[in-house]
Amino acid sequence: MTSTYSVVDLIRAKREGQTLEPDQITWLIRAYTDGIVADEQMSAMAMAVYFQGLDDAELSTWTTAMIDSGERMTFDGLSRPTVDKHSTGGVGDKITLPLAPLVAACGAAVPQLSGRGLGHTGGTLDKMEAIPGWRADLSHDEMVCQLENVGAVICAAGPGLAPADKKLYALRDVTGTVESIPLIASSIMSKKIAEGTDSLVLDVKTGSGAFMKTEEDARELARRLVGLGKAAGVHTTALLTRMDVPLGYACGNGIEVAESLEVLAGGGPADVVELTLALARQMLQSAGLDSIDPADVLANGAAMDVWRTMVRAQGGDPDAPLPVARHSQDVVATEAGVITGIDAMSIGMAAWRLGAGRARKEDPVQAAAGVMLRVRPGDRVISGQPLATLLTDTPASIAGAEEAITDAFTVGQSFQPQHIVADTIVA
């Protein structure tokens, strides 16, 4: 490709707060994908964007250029409407596991392209890989066949989907620019738009265990995500949800699968059920299937049937026992009172240190490691009562996890519960 612009001039322009023209942005993303723009130059541009931002027009062009760097998927031949969900990540966030089969059992096709965990947030593929035999890598034809016959698929994105994002994502991780709202928005939506789904529901989290710590930042991210979806012709809505406290009791991989199965069996933690149904209702409304009540479908066992068929279709054994950690240790209360808070970030860091997460994308994870909470906010405890159980195959990691979890539990005299969904953002 013949160079049209000086990348240094573009970096200077954005560094000084100027607006980049569409042709400049398109050239930049193409040149970076093709290796003409070097990593250190794109690092400088990412930092300039981190401080100066991108306006809505710049962000739309940036996202489109990232989509156009690779292939676009299509599910046009399906007999079901397609609808996908994306979460910005949190601690104990196993919602995709019960949600995808539930929405499929209601008549939609759910092409859930998911990722692996990094740092304190868990990855859906890591959780699913705790199931013996289950495989994440499917061809497009396999995905289409499974969506038509089963209604749901949870799998890895192929290498041809938004390759510019793969390069830029790795760069952001090592340059301190992960938290940039425009870069987060373009990363998420380039993949989701390229995926080819008819509609999309976003779970944008806010709180200590989320990337967006404040509600103000989470709202801005949700606004920009929804705007990008609308501009691309994808029916997009977002739920703003709280992530100060881990979702459910289980924070790990295999133990989150077990908790998801409790939800599919009609039980499970109240907050996990609440968020699963809230997202399901939004997804069904987007897909034009809002006459169906997902609570009824969850109760009658149809979602569990889809789960079992989905797992088998990807080589997994839904009846196989999940892995069990070789070592465990309780963390106990040091005073009596009411649990008024459980810091999600601290629990996520403890699970990561136990082996449930990874520091680099190529690191392995332990399927059985994690933190199993024994209490929730609002529970009354006495001194010496177990608050959580640390699970791992590597006992040397327990000390670091104990350090991370030391101040995670707040004990007081009273607790005022809040609904997990704070707001709904529409275009």
| Same-domain pairing of 133 and 259 | yes
**Count: domains in the chain:** 3
**Is residue 217, in this structure, part of any structural domain at all?**
yes
Separation of alpha carbons 305 and 310, rounded Å: 9
H or E element at residue 12: helix 7-15
* pLDDT of the chain, 427 residues: tens digit per residue: 555 899 999 999 999 999 999 999 999 999 999 999 999 999 999 999 999 999 999 999 999 999 999 999 999 899 999 999 999 989 999 999 999 999 999 999 999 998 877 666 678 999 999 999 999 999 999 999 999 999 999 999 888 889 999 899 888 878 888 889 999 999 999 999 999 999 999 999 999 999 899 999 999 999 999 999 999 999 999 999 999 999 999 999 999 999 999 999 999 999 999 999 999 999 999 999 999 999 999 999 999 999 999 999 999 999 999 999 999 999 999 999 999 999 999 999 999 999 998 777 677 899 999 999 999 999 999 999 999 999 999 999 999 999 999 999 999 998 888 899 999 999 7
The domain that contains 375 carries what CATH number? 3.90.1170.30
302 lies in the same domain as 394:
no
Residues in CB range of 217: below 8 A, 6 or more apart: 181, 206
227 and 340: one domain?
Answer: no
**Three-class SS of 95-158:** CHHHHHHHHHHCCCEEEEEECCCECCECCHHHHHCCCCCCCCCCCHHHHHHHHHHCCEEEEECC
Same domain (yes/no): 350, 392:
yes
Q: What is the pLDDT of residue 326?
A: 98
Q: What's the residue count for the chain?
A: 427
| Domain identity same for 104 and 248 | yes
Structural domain containing residue 28: 7-53
301 shares a domain with 241: yes
- 407/261 same-domain check: no
pLDDT (0 to 100) of residue 120: 67
Task: Report the catalytic residues.
Answer: 86, 165, 172, 187, 191
pLDDT for 115: 84
From 297, 319, 341, the end of a domain falls on: 319
My answer on whether 229 and 281 are in the same domain is yes
Last residue of a domain, one of 319, 350, 380: 319
* Predicted structure pTM score: 0.94
- Domain membership flag for residue 354: yes
Do both 227 and 355 map to the same domain?
Answer: no
Predicted pLDDT at 171: 86
- Using one digit for the tens of pLDDT, what is the confidence trace for 330-389? 999 999 999 999 999 999 999 999 999 877 767 789 999 999 999 999 999 999 999 999
> Is residue 209 domain-shared with residue 279, that is, in the same domain?
yes
